[in-house]
Every structure is written in structure tokens, then in C-alpha cells.
Amino acid sequence: MSTSTTKSAIPESNYKAGADGLLLEVEDLFVEFHTPEGVARAINGVSFDLRQGETLAILGESGSGKSVTAQAIMGILDMPPAVIPSGAIRYCGQDLLTMNQEQRRKSRGPEISMIFQDALSSLNPTFPVGWQIGEMFRQHRGMNRSDAYAQAVRLMERVAIPGAKDRVKNYPHQFSGGMRQRIMIAMAIALDPAVLIADEPTTALDVTVQAQIMALLAELQEERQMGLILITHDLGVVADVADRAAVMYAGRIVARAGIEDLYAHPAHPYTRGLLESIPRLDQKGQTLAAIGGLPPNLTRIPSGCTFHPRCRMAQDICRTEEPALRTVGNQQSACHFAEEVLNG
């Protein structure tokens, strides 16, 4: 996973990717939240896998279960209220859900790492940024303070923070949003993880900065051959970066495709709706096409196809029968009329 050696001794990893570069397998994962209002079924049978050097985009609206999936993989869901009734999350063949807590905690950082949406609040305001990046080395590799600072400077240079040496002792509030997200990325990649999960990494940033951050992520992923999971609701952001995409709706994956197919020939009405709702310059003055209605309340998921109340193509069968994820052309779609969508 690493292209060259670091100055410090890296402990030998207990995890080895599969022969085909398989890193992460999520299999039929269910997550529920037990709330006073009832059981919210946030994730309902999600499966996907991730290989070395591959970027998987998980797309969907707010509340579709994207972030919960990420947090379930990281093991940072608060349990309770969250419950994982069934499913498996395998990292290099080992099931993270049955692993002991301490072993799993130690895998966070050096093996699987995560970047959060709001760079403004994901750094601790009371410590200098260099101290926080260095904490990764002190905690996981027992490095001393000055070596850890040196590593922090190196990482800050790597994520292109200008004047890293002078700014290593600055506090988070002295950096702009984009710079803070770079620092968060530096922390996340500090220990050379094999898998990086980026949960809406650019949502809180300006459009121009978004492009820079995406470019940085893509570059780091290429350089280190990480498996990258990119979670976003913004289809525009991932087009250039991702290899494959999975579209989530109401805690299910409703479509899966290579990124080009997904954009060019969507095979699910929801994907098509998402694509149509991207504002376009050549349609100035027209009403923005939005998907009508709201995502379902997860305590009362609709029968049949969960998308039917908002779907323009819905028929009787959609209200009663839940469509399975099936192969249509060279992609997958969970729609009774996938062929029609694909060809229409």
C-alpha cells in the first residue's frame, strides 16, 4: 500500500489484502436505531466491496444511510441506540464486527481511516494542528513529541499547506476551511491506511476549494494505492474521481455501476432523478428538475419498492413487490422497469 519507506519503523501489519487486491467486503449489512419513536431501519441489507487502488462513490440524499454505513465500517456508531442485527464487514478477510474492541480500535488509523464532512469542527480547537497530526504517531507508534512534530510538518507539506514549518504550531481557527480539511486529510493518511473513507469531504467548502480537495484526495489515492470510499450527495463532485458508484436510497443500494455508465445511462429512476437535479448552465432560466417528495421516514419504510411514492414510473407491482438488485446491461439496478429506464 505504500510506495516508499518512512523514516520511522512501521509495525508490520497483521492484515494482508486478498490475492485480487480485495480489501473490504460489506455483506448484507443491517443497522437499526432503537429510538423512543420506534425502530429506524437505517441500513437494510447493503453489500459492496472495495479493492486496492479503487475509488467507490456512495451516492444518495441525506438520510439514505451513507454516513451510517461509513460509521458502521469504522465502528464508531453509538451502540445503543444503534444495533447491527446481521451482516458482516470484512477487512482483509477478518470480520470487524466480531473482532474484539481493542484490536478493532487499533486498526482505525493505520488500516482504515476516515475524513469527516465538517472540517471546521473536526479539529480540536484547544491544540495546535501539528500536535493533533502528531498525536497519530504518538498514539499508534509511540513516537516522541519532537519526532511527531517533524512528521506533522512533512504531512502538512504533503497536503500542500503553504509555510507548513511555520504553521505547525498554529491553532485550527487560524486556518481557512479548505486548509482545515487538508489538515484533516493529513491526519487521516498519517499512518498510511489501506482504506480511506471520506464522508462528504467537500460539502462544507467553496466550489473552487472543493475541486482542489478532490484533486488532492485523488492524487493521494493514486500515490498510495488506497481503497477510497467517497460518500457524497453531490454527483458533480465524484465524476472525475470515482471508478464505481453505488446509489443508496432508504438504506438500500438501488443501483450500482461504473461511473461512466451511471452518468451516461442510468438504470434506476432515482439515479436519473439525481442526475436531472444537477443544475446545468445550458438550461438557464428553466425550473430546476427536482425529485418530488421527501425521503421516507426510516421508522415507516414504504412497502414494495421504497422509492415508489416519489417515482414517476411507479406501477401497481412497485407498491407490493420489492425489486431485487439485478444485472441490467453492464450495471445493476433494483427496479422492476430497469430496462425501460436504461433504454428510455
- Amino acid residing at 221: Q
Which of 42, 136, 311, 325: binder of another protein (CB under 8 A)? Answer: 136
Which of 25, 49, 147, 192: binder of another protein (CB under 8 A)? Answer: 192
Residue 145 sits in the site that holds another protein (CB under 8 A): no
* Residue 339 grid coordinates: 430496462
- Amino acid residing at 97: L
Tell me which residues in 151-180 interact with another protein (CB under 8 A): 154, 157-160, 162-163, 166-167, 169-171, 174-176, 178-179
Distances (CA, A) of 323 to 257, 317, 320, 327: 17, 9, 10, 12
Smallest separation (angstroms) from another protein to the CB of 286: 34
Instruction: CB nearer to another protein: give 29 or 74.
Output: 74
Q: What angle do CA 227, 231, 236 make, to 5 degrees?
A: 110
* Residue 190 grid coordinates: 498519517
Site string for another protein, 56-75 (x = CB under 8 A): ------------------x-
Instruction: CB nearer to another protein: give 184 or 248.
Output: 184
Tell me which residues in 79-118 interact with another protein (CB under 8 A): 80, 105-110, 113-114, 116-118
Which of 123, 198, 237, 274: binder of another protein (CB under 8 A)? Answer: 123
Long-range contacts of residues 269-275, Cβ cutoff 8 Å, at least 24 apart: 269/307, 269/311, 269/312, 269/313, 269/335, 269/337, 269/341, 270/307, 270/311, 271/59, 271/247, 271/333, 272/341, 273/310, 274/59, 274/61, 274/235, 274/247, 275/235
Longest dimension (CA), the chain: 67
Residue 212 sits in the site that holds another protein (CB under 8 A): yes
Choose the binding region for another protein from 15-23, 31-39, 122-130, 299-307 (rule: CB under 8 A): 122-130
* 181 contacts: CB under 8 Å, gap ≥ 6: 115, 119, 201, 202, 204, 205, 209, 213
Residue 219 sits in the site that holds another protein (CB under 8 A): yes
Residue 30 sits in the site that holds another protein (CB under 8 A): no
Residues that bind another protein (CB under 8 A): 2-4, 6, 74, 76, 80, 105-110, 113-114, 116-118, 121-128, 135-136, 139-140, 154, 157-160, 162-163, 166-167, 169-171, 174-176, 178-179, 184, 187-189, 192, 212, 215-216, 219, 223-224
